[in-house]
Each structure stands twice: as C-alpha cells, then as structure tokens.
C-alpha cells in the first residue's frame, strides 16, 4: 500500500455491488489493518476480532449508502482496538504493561527483535502514530482525520514518538 493508493483508491467504486466493495476493501486493506491492530492491541486473536468487526461495520455502512473510506476504516479499527485494550485491562487478561507486545514469529533478525523491543516500550499512542506515518505512509493530515485531532497535534505527537522510539531503540543521541 502506498501513499498514492491512499489518495486515489480511498473510496470504493460505487458502481460495484456492496459485496464486491467489501471484498475490495478487505483485499486492499485487510493485511495492513491487521498489522496495525496487532501492533496496537498486542494480541493477534484480538486484532483479528477487531478487524472482523471493522469490516462488518463497513458493510453496514455501505448498506446504508454511506461511503467507507480508508480513513473511516482505520478510525473504526482504532476505536475498536482501544475498546479491546480497555476490556483487556478490566479483565486483566492483558499483561499489566501494554508495552509487552505479542511475541514475534520466529525466526526474526536481531534488528527486527530490537525494533520490537523498542516498540514495546512505547505507548499505544506512540506506536500507532509511528506505524501510520512510517509504515502505512499516511500523511499527517490523513492521520489527523483518523485520530480526530488537528494536523498540528499529529505533527507534535509524531516528533515526540520519534524521539521516544529513538531513545528506546538506543540510537546515539
């Protein structure tokens, strides 16, 4: 998924049938959304549930004739993930520190493991903003729509997240 795709392919073609549209959304954004959710909630099964709920809500929206954009998908997925995190806290099934991300599948390189460890030390808020900007390559204006904050606030948060990640990763200052 590239930045140009975000710009051009955000809204599905309305001429398609709703089933086709939801398939298209799942094909294009399913993997990226799952990665985002896994990073956010730190639990692969819970991330699957969140992704499933997100696409079902997208289907409901399409049925009502409302558009489903990539911003909408990420926003709903993120809110669902936050609910999951709060639920996890209540049930204490999550580890106490949300920084404890789910274990990486082996084998992984030492570098990837270090990145994983560093990400684990960040808050979900820092992780999500780094992921959305660096991995999914959304622009700060798009992220602002998803998070419901101003672009300026996104920029400030991005800079802080980068600094914290830098410290956690152990880069020379």
Residues of this chain that interact with another protein (CB under 8 A) are: 3, 19, 22-23, 26-27, 30-31, 34-35, 38-39, 44-45, 47-49, 51-52, 55-56, 59, 91, 93, 104-105, 108-109, 111-112, 115-116, 119, 130-131, 133-135, 137, 139-140, 155-156, 158-159, 162, 165-166, 169, 171
Give the containing element (helix H, strand E) for 109: none
Reduced to 3 states (helix: H, G, I; strand: E, B; else coil), residue 101 is: coil
Q: In the complex, what is the shortest distance from the CB of residue 50 to another protein, in angstroms, rounded to a whole number? A: 9
Measured over the CA atoms of residue 159, residue 162, residue 168 and residue 169, the dihedral's sign is: negative
Looking at beta carbons only, is 32 or 82 nearer to another protein?
32
Task: Give the CA count within 13 Å in the CB-facing half-sphere of 140.
Answer: 10
Task: Give the CA count within 13 Å in the CB-facing half-sphere of 14.
Answer: 5
CA–CA dist 142, 164 (Å, integer): 22
Q: In the complex, what is the shortest distance from the CB of residue 11 to another protein, in angstroms, rounded to a whole number? A: 19
Looking at beta carbons only, is 119 or 145 nearer to another protein?
119
Q: In the complex, what is the shortest distance from the CB of residue 78 to another protein, in angstroms, rounded to a whole number? A: 16
- Which residue has tokens 């949300």? 98
Q: In the complex, what is the shortest distance from the CB of residue 154 to another protein, in angstroms, rounded to a whole number? A: 9
């Amino acid at each position: 998924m590239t930045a140009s795709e975000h710009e051009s392919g955000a809204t599905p073609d309305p001429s398609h049938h709703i089933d086709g549209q939801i398939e298209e959304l799942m094909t294009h954004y399913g993997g990226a959304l799952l990665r985002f959710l896994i990073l956010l909630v730190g639990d692969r099964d819970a991330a699957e549930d969140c992704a499933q709920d997100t696409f079902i809500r997208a289907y409901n929206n399409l049925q009502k004739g409302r558009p489903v954009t990539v911003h909408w998908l990420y926003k709903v997925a993120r809110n669902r993930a936050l609910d999951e995190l709060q639920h996890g806290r209540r049930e204490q099934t999550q580890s106490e520190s949300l920084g404890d991300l789910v274990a990486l599948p082996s084998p992984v390189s030492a570098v990837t493991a270090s990145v994983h460890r560093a990400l684990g030390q960040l808050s979900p808020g820092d992780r999500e903003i780094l992921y959305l900007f660096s991995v999914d390559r959304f622009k700060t204006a798009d992220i602002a729509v998803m998070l419901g904050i101003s672009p300026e606030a996104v920029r400030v948060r991005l800079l802080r997240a980068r600094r914290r990640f830098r410290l956690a990763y152990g880069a020379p200052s």
